[in-house]
Amino acid sequence: MSQLLPPQVKHWGKALLRPDYRRRQRALARLRAVPRYQPATTDILERPVDLVDSLSFVYSFDEIFEQEIYRFDAKTESPCVLDCGSNIGLSVIYFKRLYPRARVVAFEADDEIFAVLKRNVERWELNEVELVCRAVWSEETTLNFKHEGADGGRIERADENVHDKSVRTVRLRDYLDRRVDFLKIDIEGAETETLKDCADRLGNVENLFVEYHSFDGERQTLATLVRVLADAGFRLHVHSPNASPQPFVRRDLNAGMDLQLNIFAFR
């Protein structure tokens, strides 16, 4: 029944009945007043969390802890989670709260963001978490990387000449030779190339979340991505977090992207 209620009604109901929700809303209000790309610390959860950008934190917190888009039913008390694109570690904290005995491998390419991820994991005293300061890709190599400063850092595209920094990569395929209960991929445009390389090992993955990114002016790879997932036996649900309301007339751009999709793949 609650799913039928308007969002504003849900908000006031939570605010009336849940002190923890009210505390979170106050913390979010304070964060919204913090300028972008300014390091800060918040007490929005049980322990402090360091952040690098207020806007991306507020957005990510809503998706991860309010909407719980990564929630999944595990068949074991110690599921294996591969978190590709961990950023500052909100997703890692969520997975360990959901399943305290989960074994998490967290990948973050940007060494500056990785330092904050490492600090948060240590502060929360999270066990069975392996941190990997590498970009997830289809081979082990070194690639040029575009540093964004929040949650938009990505491997440089072929037509760019930015060269903010270089990053080393890992081949995701090498981590899929065993059962994986949840695979999360949010790697800012590298997802299709990476998953194509993993195609014949995706049968080891029970649940998969991938954020698809389409850059304006570039050939879209959505059909390829969907085919790889379908051929691996997944059923799909697709959500659009920031859709253009009239795409025939105008396609709104976000960081150079004309489309982002949250793709949920499950058995």
| Residue 2, in any domain of the structure | no
Same domain assignment for residues 202 and 158:
yes
Angle at 87 between CA 244 and CA 204, to 5 degrees: 85
Cα–Cα dist 21/23, whole Å: 5
Which pLDDT value is given to residue 186?
98
Considering the chain, what is the average pLDDT of its residues?
A: 92
Same domain assignment for residues 130 and 101:
yes
DSSP state of 67: S
Domain CATH number, residue 251 = 3.40.50.150
Q: Residues 71-111: pLDDT tens digits? A: 999 999 999 999 999 999 999 999 999 999 999 999 999 99
Amino acid at 212: Y
Longest distance between any two alpha carbons in the chain, whole Å: 53
Same domain assignment for residues 58 and 143:
no
* Domain endpoint, select from 48, 65, 82: 65
Same domain assignment for residues 30 and 155:
no
Which pLDDT value is given to residue 196?
98
Which pLDDT value is given to residue 11?
46
The total number of structural domains that make up the chain:
2
* Domain endpoint, select from 65, 81, 98: 65
Q: What percent of the chain has pLDDT over 90?
A: 85
Residue range of the domain that includes 256: 69-266
Which pLDDT value is given to residue 9?
45
Same domain assignment for residues 260 and 152:
yes
Q: Give DSSP secondary structure letters for 178-227.
A: S-EEEEEE--TT-HHHHHHHTGGGGGGEEEEEEEEEEETTS---HHHHHH
| Residue 49, in any domain of the structure | yes
Which pLDDT value is given to residue 20?
82
Q: Residues 14-57: pLDDT tens digits? A: 555 567 888 999 999 999 999 999 999 999 999 999 999 999 99
Q: Where are the alpha helices (DSSP H) in 99-170?
A: 111-123
| Residue 14, in any domain of the structure | yes
With 70 as the cut, is the pLDDT of residue 12 above it? no
- Residue 8: pLDDT band (50, 70, 90) is low
Same domain assignment for residues 240 and 125:
yes
Amino acid at 107: F
Same domain assignment for residues 59 and 86:
no
Q: What percent of the chain has pLDDT over 70?
A: 92
Q: Give DSSP secondary structure letters for 2-65.
A: GGGS-HHHHHHHHHHH-HHHHHHHHHHHHHHTSPTT--EEE-SSSS-EEES-HHHHHHHHIIII
Do 194 and 164 form a contact (C-beta atoms < 8 A)?
Answer: no
Same domain assignment for residues 12 and 139:
no
Q: Residues 129-149: pLDDT tens digits? A: 999 999 999 999 999 999 999
Q: Residues 169-194: pLDDT tens digits? A: 999 999 999 999 999 999 999 999 99
